[in-house]
Amino acid sequence: MEVEVAMTLSERLNLSAFRDDAEQWLRDAVPERWRMRRSSLSPEEITAVRREWDKQLHRGGYAGLSLPREYGGQGLGLAEEVVFHELAARAHAPEGFGRIGKILTAPTLIVHGTPEQQARFLPGILSGEQVWCQGFSEPDAGSDLASVATTARRDGDGYRVTGQKIWTSFADVADRSLFLAKTNPDAPRYRNLSMLLLDMKQPGVTVRPIKQISGTSHFAEVFFEDVWVADADRLGGEGEGWKVAMTVLQNERGAIEGITRYVEMRWDLDLLLRCCAARIGRTLDAEDFDVRLELVRWQVSKAVELVDDPVAFARASSVLKVTWSELWQEMTQLAIAASCPEHRAHWRHQYLETRASSIYSGSSEIQRNIMAERVLGLPK
């Protein structure tokens, strides 16, 4: 991937050297049993590999690449972060359990956290010792995040949390949750929420995995009954949860997610072009997908170049989620129609998995509203 367009010669050479080193490290670090026989591993073995991978990243110097050194990161840029995620996807590296912690929680702690919170949580996040989940979506408040109903009522020097979250990735293994709750039911909308750093291992937390249509269980529903959160574990001021959540969502829908999805989709599209589309005379459609997929990669590169301009960066990143999620759905629809005997099982799984891609991390409808209001400046 070319992200060096706006860089100096020295920066391009440094990024090239980083890419070479990372590629070699990944060749040596990805466990052989994961690379060669992942499908035959037991759930317990898969969990062990994924936990260890987070620790390997830390030992190898690849955890927190774009986080400042004073917070335990590597002090590099978004360009290196994007390049590494692309290489890791191409190397079929395991996905650790640290994604929520490193991509969402850590940057949000740096912006909104107290020095004490940063010292307590950042080392464990970066080392892989502490797993985080994201307690945002609820049965009646998914894309309409401001309508969360889970309450955190004041109790002395903290809160008692009661309610339910759903579609929560990593909930079954998480130590902590980046958690949005209603702390003042009488306050106006957007000012009645607070962001909490909730302990998932305490009494009152019940996790129930959700079996998806594809047969996998990436998510869970989680129930909370009088769960304790101290004032020291509130991120930002009381009533500032919406502002903190916007920081989280900007990272969730950004360039790193875009390039990781690009690599997975590239494998699917190559298979479609090489074999399946030709079976039903739809090669031209697949070639159109090819152009659109490369535009995703180009848009990630553009966003990386604009990282020092927060407004321009947000605009460049805002189109990514809608672009790749809807394209992936169209690709798998064509693949299902091809009914290729050799790859039928693969496409059935991908088709079912991608049904949710235009919903999670903010539905396409919500994303289009964001682009209309914040990029195009249209009235609400």
Q: Kindly state the tokens that stand for 59.
A: 């030992």
Q: Kindly state the tokens that stand for 350.
A: 């991908």
Angle, nearest 10°, between helix axes 255-271 and 283-305? 160
Q: Write the pLDDT tens digit of every residue in 318-355.
A: 888 899 999 999 999 999 999 899 999 999 989 998 99
Q: Write the pLDDT tens digit of every residue in 30-40.
A: 999 888 887 78
β-strands 158-165, 219-230 pairing: antiparallel
Please state, in angstroms and rounded to a whole number, the distance separating the CA atoms of residues 68 and 166: 32
- Do you know the residue count of the chain? 380
Q: What is the DSSP-derived secondary structure letter of residue 71?
A: G
* pLDDT score of 186: 92
Among the listed residues 337, 327, 322, the one whose alpha carbon sits nearest the alpha carbon of residue 281? 337
Contact 85, 256 (CB under 8 A): yes
Q: Given the structure tokens 């500032």, which residue do they identify?
A: 240
Q: Kindly state the tokens that stand for 258.
A: 């875009």
* pLDDT score of 18: 95
Range with the largest mean pLDDT of 124-133, 142-151, 240-249 = 124-133
Average pLDDT of every residue of the chain = 90
Residue 303: which residues within 8 A CB-CB, separation 6 or more? 254, 255, 258, 313, 316, 317, 320
DSSP notation for 115-129: HHHHHHHHHHHHHTS
Please state, in angstroms and rounded to a whole number, the distance separating the CA atoms of residues 366 and 354: 18
Q: Kindly state the tokens that stand for 249.
A: 């969502």
3-class secondary structure, 82 = helix
Catalytic residue chosen out of the listed positions 4, 81, 138, 252: 252
pLDDT at 3 over 60: no
Structure confidence at residue 8 as a pLDDT band (50, 70, 90): low
Please state, in angstroms and rounded to a whole number, the distance separating the CA atoms of residues 195 and 174: 17
Please state, in angstroms and rounded to a whole number, the distance separating the CA atoms of residues 322 and 83: 22
Q: Given the structure tokens 């079954």, which residue do they identify?
A: 172
Radius of gyration for the alpha carbons in the chain, expressed in angstroms and rounded = 21
Q: Kindly state the tokens that stand for 216.
A: 């996998």
Which parts of the chain are beta strand (E)?
132-135, 151-155, 158-165, 176-182, 193-199, 205-210, 219-230, 234-235
Range with the largest mean pLDDT of 33-37, 142-146, 203-207 = 203-207
Please state, in angstroms and rounded to a whole number, the distance separating the CA atoms of residues 289 and 170: 32
52 catalytic residue (yes or no): no
Q: Kindly state the tokens that stand for 128.
A: 């892989």
Q: Write the pLDDT tens digit of every residue in 265-301.
A: 998 999 999 999 988 999 999 999 999 999 999 998 8
Q: Identity (one letter) of the amino acid at 361?
A: S
Contact 331, 289 (CB under 8 A): yes
* pLDDT score of 5: 45
Q: Tally Cβ neighbours within 10 Å of residue 287.
A: 14
Contact 128, 63 (CB under 8 A): yes
Q: Write the pLDDT tens digit of every residue in 51-91.
A: 999 999 999 999 999 999 999 999 998 899 889 988 998 88
Q: Tally Cβ neighbours within 10 Å of residue 332.
A: 24
Contact 29, 54 (CB under 8 A): no
Among the listed residues 83, 133, 71, the one whose alpha carbon sits nearest the alpha carbon of residue 107? 71
- Chain-centroid distance, C-alpha 266: 19
Structure confidence at residue 144 as a pLDDT band (50, 70, 90): confident
pLDDT at 7 over 70: no
* pLDDT score of 4: 45
